[in-house]
Homo-oligomer: A and B are copies of this chain.
């Protein structure tokens, strides 16, 4: 009997209804190559938010909006005093984005709540769908702006001062974005939640590789960004023997090779990427006198990330040879632990629904990274074809979207039950 309502909720999920809504939203900002350009604060973004609010109103849900344009759609619970259980993601896209990144999580949330409603389930807690403002940060930085302002990590004034590359100022465009979903009740920043559960495409290739239907996210990887600069001496490629060279390029490559080897872990959880590499002066017949490269280092474990960061410094010094090297950490994001009891609920519900799944860290940052500071938080991943994302070719299978919505509906019911015991 424990999973009766969860099963019932899942059984009312309609893959077709979900997919139709997804394709309807894909028309807003559609690009010629089959993707979308629906950047935050644009008319297309407002149109998508307004459509979502209309759908929610059509189901009898109340609509709230906060001062930065985060949009909340509430189905009331039995107990007016309980905090909402919130699920959703974002509607904005990259300039050449796909039809799934963000929007799928919002559409799945709507489908789950509609299924719960059709199943006649009255939850103890209110259930809310959220569409966070400006997750992508492509037009107005930074990423995850809406959730950052909501949890107080960024001030509203600071967000309003953000300038786009075309010179537009966010604060000037915000009133129109807010008006687009009117009438909406006002939502306070930081209004507490009982739990947050975000569905999102994986944006990576692992679920497809492993042949499982869904991913349950255990943690969001922390990131450390480094900038390494190697100084040697320019020399003539013909007249300078190896023993007398101070080749900054070769020294940099030795460092990178040593790190690549040191960071090869059995579980393949460490992400080590050198995405930028420059040698100077960059002439075929001059031994490089300077080299510079970037390091993007990720792992879900904060302590291990500290250890790996120390190794970055040590390995670069160890392999500099006759050159000098400076290693500077230029940024970072702390790992985020998700609520084990919530991932447990997701896993239990998946077992009940006969959905194959795996537990995995998230390699990308999400609004859930912010929400974990506010309330128990979990994430659910839907497979991405070939791991392609931030690309118009992004794709997830309709069946996978439906399976995700089924698991989401069931898990929301179980989370409500767990929180109400």
Contact = CB atoms under 8 A, between A and B. Distances in A.
Interface stretch (A92-100, A203-211, A343-351): A203-211
A244 interface: yes
A273 B387 contact: no
A320 to B, nearest CB: 15
A253 interface: yes
B287 A273 contact: yes
A182 interface: no
Contact of A284 (B205, B237, B275, B287): B275
Interface string A107-121: 000000000000000
Contact of A244 (B223, B242, B279, B387): B387
A244 B286 contact: no
A203 B239 contact: yes
A70 interface: no
A207 B346 CA distance: 73
B275 A282 contact: yes
A311 interface: no
B294 A240 contact: no
Nearest to A220: B238
Interface stretch (A16-24, A130-138, A256-264, A409-417): A256-264
A239 B363 contact: yes
Interface string A261-287: 000100011111111111101111111
A257 B319 CA distance: 13
Interface residues of A, number: 59
A241 interface: yes
Contact of A286 (B204, B254, B275, B282): B275
A154 interface: no
Interface string A192-227: 000000000011111001000000000001010100
B288 A236 contact: no
A304 interface: no
A355 B319 CA distance: 40
B283 A237 contact: no
Contacts of A46: none
B236 A387 contact: yes
Interface in A362-400: 362-365, 387, 389-390
Interface in A274-312: 274-279, 281-288, 294-296, 298
A365 B238 CA distance: 9
B275 A296 contact: no
Contacts of A272: 242
A126 interface: no
A364 B285 CA distance: 10
Nearest to A288: B275
Contact of A242 (B204, B268, B278): B268
A275 B204 CA distance: 34
A72 to B, nearest CB: 28
A87 interface: no
Question: Which one of A247, A275, A287 has the highest number of Cβ atoms from chain B below 10 Å of its Cβ?
Answer: A275
A227 to B, nearest CB: 9
Contacts of A282: 275-276
A94 to B, nearest CB: 12
B239 A204 contact: yes
Given A275-B282, A276-B279, 15 more contacts: A204-B239, A205-B235, A237-B271, A237-B363, A238-B362, A238-B363, A239-B363, A241-B269, A249-B275, A254-B257, A273-B286, A275-B279, A275-B283, A284-B294, A284-B295
The 4 closest A-B pairs by CB, nearest first: A204-B239, A238-B363, A239-B363, A237-B273
